[in-house]
Homo-oligomer: A and B are copies of this chain.
Amino acid sequence: MATTDNILEAIDADQESALERLFAFLSIPSISAVPAHFPDCERAADWLVGELGGLGFEVAKHPTEGRPMVTGQVKANRRDAPHVLFYGHYDVQPVDPLNLWRSPPFEPKLEAGPHGEQIVARGASDDKGQLMTFLEACRAFEKFGGPPCQISVLFEGEEETGSPSLPAFLAKNAKLLKADIALVCDTGMWGPGTPAITTSLRGLVGEEVILTGANRDLHSGVYGGAAVNPIHVLSTILGALHDSNGAVALPGFYDGVEELPAEIAEQWSTLDFDASAFLGAVGLTTPAGERDRTPLEQLWSRPTCDVNGIVGGYTGEGAKTVLPAKASAKITFRLVGKQNPERVAQAFRSFVTSRLPPDVKAEFISHGGSAAISLPIKNEALRRGRRALEAEWGKPAALVGCGASIPIVGAFKRELQMDSLLVGFALEDDRIHSPNEKYERTSFHKGARSWARILAALAA
C-alpha cells in the first residue's frame, strides 16, 4: 500500500496537468445569478461529471428547480474506513464591473503576485480552485489503489444565490450523502503560509425591497413638491437601519446574539489580527461597525446589515429631471449565534412597511436565509485535521471565525446531523466577488497535498 509520501510525490509530479484542468474549469462562465449563464452552469456540472468519472467515482447529475447537483462516491482502499463527504460549488459570482478586470474574467492566466505566482480568473478562489485541490488529492490516491477514506462528493451550482435547492435535495438524498464528517473547502488560510480551520460562520438573510410611488416616472418640475419620491422614502428607511452607534436598528434584531465564549476569545487574542492592515489593503482606515466591538468581533461574531445594491430613477450619463416611480435595494443581514433568519427577514419587512408614507407600496423578494453555525472546537476530526495541516505547512493551524455564510454547513447539521470540518486555502487578498479574483498557485498545490494528509489522518 502506498505511503502518504508516495501520494504527495504524485501530486507534485502532476502540477502542470493539474493547472490545465483548473484552467479548463475556470473558463466556464458559470454565473448562477444571471439566467443567461444557466447553460454555462450546466456545462460546469457536466465538466465535473467527466472529471469524477475519470477518478473512479460513481457519478450522478441531479436536476433541481435551479442549477443541477453533482454527486459522486468512491470506495476506500480498505474496509471500516471513515466516510467523508466533500462539498464544493461550481457556480461563481457575476463579474461586473467588467471594466475593472485587467484580463477577461473567464480567460484564466498566471500572474506574478506579492506572495508568488497566482491564478487570476472569476472563481479562481471562490470556489473552483479550492474544489480542485480536493479532486487533485483524489487523483493521486486513485493512482495507488484508491483513497484511505470512503469519499462522497457534493457539488452545487447555487451557492452564490443562496442555495435555494439545497435543503430539499439534502432531505431527499440523506442516505446517499450522510457521512461521518463533511469536508467543506469554501474558507481561507489565516495568512500566507499559515493554515486555518474555521470553527464559526455567520448566517445570512437576503432581502430585496422595491418601493413604488406614482404609476409612471414624472417630470420633477411639473410634479416636484406634491408627488412622493420613492428614492427619498427608500433613503430615509435605509438611513434608519443603523443607529448612531453603528448597531442595527431593527427591533428584536439582537435576539439570540451571544457574547463571545472565553475559550474562543482567548484563541482569537493569539491571532495578532492587524485591523489597520486588513482595512488598509482596501483603502480604509477606520472600523465602521458597532463602536464598542473589536474589529474581529465586528467581522466574525457580531451581526451586520449591508445594502448590497440600490437603484432608482435616471442613472445614465448627464442629468434627467425625473421624479421616479420606483426605487429598490438589495440588503443582506449577517447573522450570529441563535439569530433566526425568518424572524430577521420579518423584522426587516415590518421595519420598511411601518415607515411607508401614503401612496408608497413595498414589494419584497427573498434571496434566502441561513442561520449562523459554530463547530465543536474539540471534535476528533478537527484535532486530526489540525495535525495534518501542521505537518504540511510547518506551523499550527489557526482556529478562526468567518464573517461570510456557507449555507451548506448549516444544512448538513440540520438535515443530516453532520458536523463539518472547514478547511480552505484562500487568502484574504484573493478578491473573491470582486474584479481580478485570484488564487495562489501555492494554495492550489499545497492545498491538494493538505487534503491528501487530512484524508490519511482521518483514516489513521
Q: Which residues does A use to contact B, with CB under 8 Å?
A: 32-35, 93-94, 96-97, 100, 160-162, 202, 204, 206, 208, 213-229, 231-232, 234-242, 275, 278-279, 282-290, 295, 298-299, 302-304, 306-324, 327, 329-330, 332, 334, 357-359, 367-368, 402-405, 428, 431-435
Nearest Cβ on chain B to A321's Cβ, whole angstroms: 5
Say yes or no: A322 contacts B433, CB within 8 Å.
yes
Q: Which of these, B225, B282, B304, contacts A218 with CB under 8 Å?
A: B282
Which residues does chain B contribute within 8 Å of A161, judged by CB atoms? 318-319
Which residue of B has the minimal Cβ distance to A238?
Answer: B235
7 CB contacts below 8 A, A to B, read A96-B314, A218-B433, A225-B334, A231-B329, A235-B236, A283-B359, A309-B313
Which residues does chain B contribute within 8 Å of A279, judged by CB atoms? 226-227
Which residues does chain B contribute within 8 Å of A431, judged by CB atoms? 216
Which residues does chain B contribute within 8 Å of A206, judged by CB atoms? 319, 321
A282 in contact with B220 given A232-B307, A313-B310, A403-B225 (CB within 8 Å)? no
| Cα of A403 to Cα of B227 in the assembled complex, Å | 12
Considering residues A162, A303, A309, which has the most beta carbons from chain B within 10 angstroms of its beta carbon?
A309
Considering residues A96, A311, A318, which has the most beta carbons from chain B within 10 angstroms of its beta carbon?
A318
| Cα of A303 to Cα of B225 in the assembled complex, Å | 7
Nearest Cβ on chain B to A95's Cβ, whole angstroms: 10
Say yes or no: B403 contacts A290, CB within 8 Å.
no
Say yes or no: A223 contacts B33, CB within 8 Å.
no
| Cα of A316 to Cα of B36 in the assembled complex, Å | 12
Q: Which of these, B302, B310, B330, contacts A311 with CB under 8 Å?
A: B310
Which residues does chain B contribute within 8 Å of A96, judged by CB atoms? 314, 316
A33 in contact with B318 given A221-B204, A240-B239, A287-B226 (CB within 8 Å)? yes
Which residues does chain B contribute within 8 Å of A322, judged by CB atoms? 308-309, 433-434
Say yes or no: B307 contacts A33, CB within 8 Å.
no
Say yes or no: B221 contacts A404, CB within 8 Å.
yes
| Cα of A323 to Cα of B309 in the assembled complex, Å | 8
Which residues does chain B contribute within 8 Å of A435, judged by CB atoms? 216-217
Number of identical monomers bound together in the oligomeric complex: 2
Which residues does chain B contribute within 8 Å of A202, judged by CB atoms? 221
Nearest Cβ on chain B to A177's Cβ, whole angstroms: 25
Considering residues A93, A320, A434, which has the most beta carbons from chain B within 10 angstroms of its beta carbon?
A320
Say yes or no: B309 contacts A405, CB within 8 Å.
no
Say yes or no: B228 contacts A239, CB within 8 Å.
no
Say yes or no: A359 contacts B316, CB within 8 Å.
no
Say yes or no: A314 contacts B308, CB within 8 Å.
yes
Say yes or no: A228 contacts B330, CB within 8 Å.
no
Q: Which of these, B34, B289, B302, B311, contacts A318 with CB under 8 Å?
A: B34
Which residue of B has the minimal Cβ distance to A242?
Answer: B232
Which residues does chain B contribute within 8 Å of A238, judged by CB atoms? 231-232, 235-236, 239
4 shortest interchain CB distances as A-B pairs? A221-B404, A215-B283, A309-B313, A239-B239
Nearest Cβ on chain B to A289's Cβ, whole angstroms: 4
| Cα of A67 to Cα of B232 in the assembled complex, Å | 33
| Cα of A226 to Cα of B289 in the assembled complex, Å | 5
Which residues does chain B contribute within 8 Å of A237, judged by CB atoms? 239
Nearest Cβ on chain B to A139's Cβ, whole angstroms: 30
Nearest Cβ on chain B to A297's Cβ, whole angstroms: 8
A232 in contact with B239 given A321-B332, A433-B217 (CB within 8 Å)? yes
| Cα of A324 to Cα of B332 in the assembled complex, Å | 13
Which residues does chain B contribute within 8 Å of A220, judged by CB atoms? 304, 306, 308, 332, 334
| Cα of A232 to Cα of B309 in the assembled complex, Å | 10
Say yes or no: A33 contacts B319, CB within 8 Å.
yes
A284 in contact with B227 given A34-B317, A239-B232, A367-B318 (CB within 8 Å)? yes
Q: Which of these, B213, B227, B320, contacts A309 with CB under 8 Å?
A: B320
| Cα of A395 to Cα of B275 in the assembled complex, Å | 75
Nearest Cβ on chain B to A288's Cβ, whole angstroms: 4
Nearest Cβ on chain B to A305's Cβ, whole angstroms: 8
Which residues does chain B contribute within 8 Å of A368, judged by CB atoms? 319
| Cα of A405 to Cα of B431 in the assembled complex, Å | 46
Q: Which of these, B218, B235, B323, contacts A235 with CB under 8 Å?
A: B235
Which residues does chain B contribute within 8 Å of A332, judged by CB atoms? 220, 224, 319, 321
Which residue of B has the minimal Cβ distance to A359?
Answer: B284
